[in-house]
Amino acid sequence: MKICKEALPYALFWGILISVSSVFSFYILSVLFLFPFLFTLFFFRDPKRNYKGDENVILSPADGKIIKIKEENGFFFISIFMSIFNVHINRSPIKGRIKESRHFQGTFIAAYKDKSSEENERVEWVVQNENEEVEFVQIAGLVARRIHPLKKEGEFVEMGEKIGLIAFGSRVDIKLQSKNRKLLVNLGDNVKGCLTPLAKKV
């Protein structure tokens, strides 16, 4: 399986510790350092995914568990919590052009708390096409403290195309119009980025 290039500095750090420990015959330490090295490779895995289904849907931008669903003022608000065991690559929910990409400095409280949406470090994306626009937010968490954007404002993206990555546990919020839309997921559902439709046109 492919590994994201963003894994390199983390893997290199643990790899150096393993090498130095081995050179000085600290084999127990070498074995201990091997575990975070392997976990780094696991965390930054990049499974190949392509969406070939109905284009009249909004895809999940992330792997994880749905921890919040709210309908308010003509919009659905959906929050997806990503544990350290989920794939952390985030993807575009629709086909279109990146209208906005904004980075906000912030705190690093636990991502499952509601206030993390407004207080934590985050990157807000707006993707727009001729029919609609969808906003989603990458939110850093207590452990996740680094957001890696993979696209820029003005670029065109396909449905499910990689748009960013968050390192080590986090949250993604998505906002979409509720008019003529039917939700396809429920609170507590596990979803996969690029593969799970969140809503469809009706």
Identify whether the C-beta of residue 159 lies closer than 8 Å to the C-beta of residue 134.
no
Contacts of 30 (CB under 8 A, 6+ apart): 18, 21, 22
- Residue 6: beta bridge partners? none
Can you spell out the DSSP letters for 61-88? SSSEEEEEEEEETTEEEEEEEE-TTS--
Catalytic residue among 21, 60, 92, 170: 170
Scan for tokens 């080590």, then name that residue: 168
Per-residue tokens: 126: 């707006």
d(CA 186, CA 39): 30
CA 137 from chain centre, in angstroms, equals 9
Compute CA 105 distance to the chain's CA centroid, rounded to the nearest angstrom: 18
User: Which residue in 33, 110, 96, 105 sits closest to 67, CA to CA?
Assistant: 110
Calpha distance 155→39 (Å, rounded): 32
Q: Look up 21 and say whether it is catalytic.
A: no
Give residues with Cβ within 8 angstroms of 97, minimum separation 6: 127, 128, 129, 154, 155, 156, 157
Residues with active-site annotation: 170
